[in-house]
Amino acid sequence: MRRRLINSTLAVVLVVVALFCVPLALVEKSSIESNAQDQVTSEALHLLGVVENRLVAGERIESEALSGLTSQNAQRYAVVTVPGQPTITLGDRPAGDDPVSATETGAHGEQVTVQESREPLNREVRNMLLLLTLVALLSILAAALLAVWQARRLARPLTELAETAERLGSGDPRPRQRRYGVVELDRIAEVLDASADRIGRMLTAERRLAADASHQLRTPLTALSMRLEEIAETDDLVTVKEEAAIALVQVERLTDVVQRLLTNSRDQRNTSAATAFELDDVIKQQAEEWRSVLTRAGRTLHLEGPPGLRALGTSGAVAQVLAALIENSLMHGDGAVTIRTRVRDTSVVLEVQDEGAGVSSELGARVFERAVSGHNSTGIGLAVARDLAEADGGRLELLSQKPPVFALFLSRQG
């Protein structure tokens, strides 16, 4: 590209120089020749006037009287012819076969011819041509330097844009935020930066989805594995059927977890699919899954609150949020875990509390931020729970740090 820009610029300059210098040289050459001819003609007329004046005055026409009338600097040669008198020559005959010559004839038959060597004229023409050639060469040199500079100025941004596109293709979505002062190139840079930003968000969403899926599926998969182990260890057909039925329910929950994570990762915050559901059913299902886990950890699970509460939302999302809160109490809390329901204005509040040390003052509300944890955990669980709650039209808050009380607010139905 650089070579093309340089060649095209030089071609344009050469054409302009040729179109300018050639006619100018011809015009200047004609002007120099015309000026030399005018000078010789003027001198011939002057010399003829002197001869006529002498003839009218009756004076003799002699070479001594006319010798000072020709230009000595120009080294001109003059021939004066007067009828009845000898021919008078002034100066030296110029060298060359084609001198600049002018002949004038007076009223009494006298004739004056003035000649000048063409060498001074040719020298002036050569100097003019040399000057024009020098100007043309300087113009071409300046154009070449400008073309090289312009080619580098345009090629460098294109090279950088190509490198940016290559980085995007290799998985590096960092925008460069470089602008070059050229509208077209700046537009391309803006598009690439916008693409880099979109790709970065997509990669972040992919990584976030993978982390969320890993975290959210860990506990259900563990519970499902325990159910399958119990099925494998028992010979009681009734127990096998019961455990298989529970395992099928857990599989359905896993499917719902995956679907919820996918929906949430696409940021489709739409509560139009919310329906009324029995909050007791969700609490009962989660209590059955977690009670055995808490029992093995030497802890108990208590349920409090009025029965028969109905909320607006999706039971699967609420179940995932509740599971995240119970798991958080299991990992970071201590003592009994209490699941409490209550009514507040037009909302149903689902609280999870334990008897542990609570959330430190340094964490506070930051406990819902990703990668924020006080006990070297992933810091994902509560962040995912808040995202799921908000996507389902509710909100998740930390009501108390000591004792730790997390509350899920849902719209009340009925």
- Express each pLDDT in 209-222 by its tens digit: 666 666 666 667 77
Taking the CB of residue 320, how many other CB atoms lie within 10 A of it?
Answer: 26
Please report the pLDDT score of residue 27 as a whole number. 92
Of 71-75, 252-256, 352-356, 368-372, the range with the lowest mean pLDDT is: 71-75
Mean pLDDT of 43-64: 82
Mean pLDDT of 336-359: 92
Distance CA 375, CA 169 (A): 38
The one-letter code for the residue type at 352 is V
Q: Are 276 and 414 in contact (CB under 8 A)?
A: yes
**Long-range contacts from 258-264, C-beta under 8 angstroms, 24+ separation:** 258/213, 258/217, 259/316, 260/316, 260/317, 260/320, 260/388, 260/391, 261/209, 261/212, 261/213, 261/216, 261/384, 262/209, 263/391, 264/212, 264/387, 264/388, 264/391
Please report the pLDDT score of residue 169 as a whole number. 76
Please report the pLDDT score of residue 67 as a whole number. 66
Cα 411–chain centre separation = 46
Please report the pLDDT score of residue 304 as a whole number. 94
- Looking at the DSSP bridge assignments, the partners of residue 396 are 408
In percent, how much of the chain has pLDDT > 70? 86
Mean pLDDT of 378-392: 78
3-state secondary structure of 391: helix
Distance CA 379, CA 55 (A): 127
**Burial (0-12, 13-18, 19+ Cβ within 10 Å), 383:** buried
Q: What is the pLDDT of residues 109-152, one digit of tens each?
A: 889 999 988 888 888 999 999 999 999 899 889 888 888 887 77
Run of H or E including 81: strand 77-81
DSSP letter at 306 equals: -
Instruction: Check whether 73 has a pLDDT greater than 50.
Output: no
Q: How confident is the model at residue 406 (pLDDT cuts 50, 70, 90)?
A: very high
Mean pLDDT of 218-246: 78
Instruction: Check whether 367 has a pLDDT greater than 80.
Output: yes
- Mean pLDDT, the chain, rounded, equals 82
Instruction: Check whether 350 has a pLDDT greater than 70.
Output: yes
Distance CA 307, CA 291 (A): 19
Question: Hey, what are 279's tokens?
Answer: 């909050």
Please report the pLDDT score of residue 280 as a whole number. 93
Question: Hey, what are 296's tokens?
Answer: 């093995």
Distance CA 229, CA 374 (A): 33
Distance CA 356, CA 98 (A): 122
Please report the pLDDT score of residue 268 as a whole number. 47
* CB neighbour list of residue 197: distance below 8 Å, 6 or more residues apart: 173, 175
Mean pLDDT of 265-282: 70
Q: Global pTM?
A: 0.49
How far, CA to CA in Å, does 161 sit from each of 25, 134, 186, 195, 208?
47, 40, 10, 12, 29
Top-confidence residue, 8 or 352: 352
Tell the residue number behind the tokens 């002949």, with chain if given: 103
In percent, how much of the chain has pLDDT > 90? 21
Q: What is the pLDDT of residues 11-32, one digit of tens each?
A: 888 888 888 888 989 999 999 9
Q: How confident is the model at residue 271 (pLDDT cuts 50, 70, 90)?
A: very low
Mean pLDDT of 172-185: 76
Mean pLDDT of 248-253: 76
Of 127-131, 239-243, 328-332, the range with the lowest mean pLDDT is: 239-243
Cα 142–chain centre separation = 32
Q: What is the pLDDT of residues 86-95, one digit of tens each?
A: 888 888 888 8
Mean pLDDT of 247-261: 73
